[in-house]
Structure 1
Amino acid sequence: MATDLYLVRHGRTMFNTIHRAQGWSDTPLTTQGQAGIRELGIGLREKGLSFHRAVSSDLGRTIMTMDIILTELGLKGEIPYNYDPRVREWSFGSNDGAYDGDLFFGLLPRLAGVENLEEMSYEDMAKAIYQADTAGWAETWEVLRDRLLAGITDLAEKMEKAGGGNAIVVSHGMSIGTILYLLAGQRFVALDNGSVTRLRYENGQFTVMEVGDLSYRETGRAYLEKNRS
């Protein structure tokens, strides 16, 4: 049996709504964000998916997201679930909480000596964030890269040794994008809240199966609309 990791970007939060860089700072899911993740959980259930293990980052917004998903799947307390700080979001250091426009479309391109964000790789962004940090909180590119790869690889290997199956992982937009960059060379990708990116792990190799899939949320939304009428 193959091992599939379903990487979910957490639900929409207060900072997402007002367009602030969240990083290691944390705000809770909004009412709209919670509703979107409920759609996701229902959609995963209605598509007949089963999960053998659950992992989220140790930040509150991913824990809150996972709680809703597992509740809708009927798996809360039924499968192993742990927090893994290795799949938490990037730290923006002293720029945590900055407005997205100021950070991503102003400061970082300027430090990298380019016109716009699209010219930068994740490695370029990490180096610029580290350079801009005045508090000593941001990670180097090497630390960031290694922790993300270790987090997903350790989980995939553990799943494979146990016979394979599906794991659901709730992480963050920049972190999931970085994983795609590391595994498949994808440039900067914008992932919606509640989207699913699926990785398959076989014989020590990852294959990207889906990126930013919103069909599970759409299925859940259709289910709710049908059952409200």
Structure 2
Amino acid sequence: MRKKLYLMRHGQTLFNQLKRVQGACDSPLTTLGKDQAKQARDYFLQEQIQFDAAYSSTQERACDTMEIVQAGDSYIRKKGLKEWNFGLYEGAPEYLNPPHKPGEESYGDYFLDYDGESVDQVASRMSQTLTQVMDDLTGENALAVSHGGALYSFYLKWRQENDQRPTFSNCCILVYEYQNGEFYLQTSIDPGK
């Protein structure tokens, strides 16, 4: 059976609005963030997409997004879906983030020196968690709400040569087909557009 994973980013938060680094730390959804989650919920309803299982990062911003999207339906919290830990950069202004090295598409292992995680650690954690989610799925569709850096790390691990690079905006949805332990990006959706 072909299975689909709808991997979604949380709605806009206060730290997103203030342009603060937000990985392991948390901040509440803004009014816009709540509206973005409602737009995602409306998209799923309009497209008649129903979920056989739903999962969220344990961080409040992801859980709050999930609770709006699921409108009271149950979901399971998974630590493996948490955002990239940026270590001592947590809560700092975003302009302090280092530029990517030439030819690199991520921060690599930069944050390890600051008690954070590397891109490979995040991708591995996300992949292990989502592989288990999909292997355990008895139906066709699973929803998982996570975070921008975590989604990007997962995308880098599983992308194919001809994949279009998705946007990683708040409440973006990456749709993956899962077959034989592999994830294949099908499309990306920005419900707010």
Counterpart contact for 1:5–1:199, Cα < 8 Å: yes
From 87, 93, 99, the counterpart of 2:93: 99
Change beyond 3 A, Cα 1:82–1:30:
same
Structure 2 residue 182 is the aligned partner of structure 1 residue 198:
no
Q: Is the 8 A contact 1:177 1:188 kept in 2?
A: no
2:117 corresponds, among 135, 139, 157, to 139
Structure 2: gaps spanning 5 or more residues: none
CA contact (8 A) 2:81 2:129 kept: yes
What amino acid is aligned across from residue 61 of structure 1 in structure 2?
R
What one-letter code is carried by the residue in structure 1 that aligns with 2:3? T
Shift of 1:18: 1.1
Letter in 2 for 1:128: Y
- 2:81 — aligned with what? 87
* Runs of 4+ deviating beyond 4 Å: 185-190
Q: Residue by residue, what CA displacement relative to the aligned partner does 1:108-135 show, whole Å, maximum 9, x if unpaired?
A: 44xx4x4xxxx4233xx1311112x1xx
Structure-2-length-normalised TM-score: 0.90
* Alpha-carbon distance in structure 2 between the residues aligned to 1:194 and 1:141: 21
| Paired residue secondary structure (1:51) | coil
In 2, the alpha carbon distance for the partners of 1:158 and 1:144 equals 21
Q: CA RMSD in A?
A: 2.0
Query: 2:104 & 2:165 partners in 1: Cα distance?
Result: 8
Name the CA distance, whole Å, in 2 between partners of 1:42 and 1:142. Answer: 34
Partner secondary structure for residue 177 of structure 1: helix
Which protein has the bigger helix share? 1
Instruction: Tell me by how many angstroms 1:24 deviates.
Output: 0.6
Residue by residue, what CA displacement relative to the aligned partner does 1:8-49 show, whole Å, maximum 9, x if unpaired? 110000000111110010001001110111111011101111
For 2:70, give the aligned amino acid: L
Residues in 2 aligned to 1:37 and 1:140: alpha-carbon distance in whole angstroms: 29
CA distance in 2, matches of 1:180, 1:50: 23
**Is residue 177–residue 189 contact of structure 1 (8 Å, CA) maintained in 2?**
no
Amino acid across the alignment from 1:192: S
Determine the C-alpha separation between the residues in 1 that align with 2:96 and 2:166. Answer: 19
Match of 1:50, SS state, is coil
Q: Which amino acid aligns with 1:120?
A: E
Q: Secondary structure at the match of 1:7?
A: strand
Q: SS in structure 2 opposite 1:36? A: helix
Distance 1:40 1:52 in 2: 17
Q: 1:64-114 deviations in whole A, cap 9, x for unaligned?
A: 00000011xxxx23x5x21111111000001011211221xxx344xx4x4
Offset at residue 190 of structure 1 (A) = 4.5
- What CA distance in whole angstroms lies between the structure 2 residues aligned with 1:206 and 1:142? 16
* 1:150-200 superposed Cα distances (whole Å, 9 cap, x missing partner): 0111111111xx2x3111110001111111100016798641101110111
Aligned with residue 186 of structure 2, among 198, 203, 209: 209
Which has the higher Rg, Structure 1 or Structure 2?
A: 1
Alignment correspondent of 1:183: 158
Distance 2:123 2:149 in 1: 12
